[in-house]
Structure 1
Amino acid sequence: MEKPEPDTQLQFLDVAALQSMFKVGRSKARLMMDALPSIRVGNKDYISQKALNDYLTANGGIPISWPKRRR
């Protein structure tokens, strides 16, 4: 069986990768991951680089909103 070319392999991003890519904190990166079409493996969420690029192209950004504060 042939190995796929390195540029055709899927690259998966986790919350830490989103943090460094968008220069945001963990809470905002977690909210972004919840808004994206992600997959869960064990207790971690991942999104493929292609899915992220497709989502950004189709939607122009990632809509997130902070949850309301409980008093």
Structure 2
Amino acid sequence: MKSQDFGVHEVTDMRELINFKGACLAQSKARLEKVENEELKQLIEKSVELGTTSLNQMKNLLSKASTQIIQ
């Protein structure tokens, strides 16, 4: 079983990654409306779907890490 201990630097890095991922997703969603090529549109939609899933997983992990640091 892997350790669930998080260092302060890991929590800080995770916050930065979440902010970056959120900005990337916002850009992808905004550009999606302008894409006319159907194949490209499908790729961007899949990217947004996967990005949203990983962003939610990172947020859940950050929540656990923050709770662990507070204790």
TM-score range, shorter chain: under 0.3
Normalised TM-score (structure 1): 0.25
Normalised TM-score (structure 2): 0.25
Q: Which has the higher contact order (CA 8 A, sep 6+)?
A: 2
Quick check: which one's strand share is greater?
1
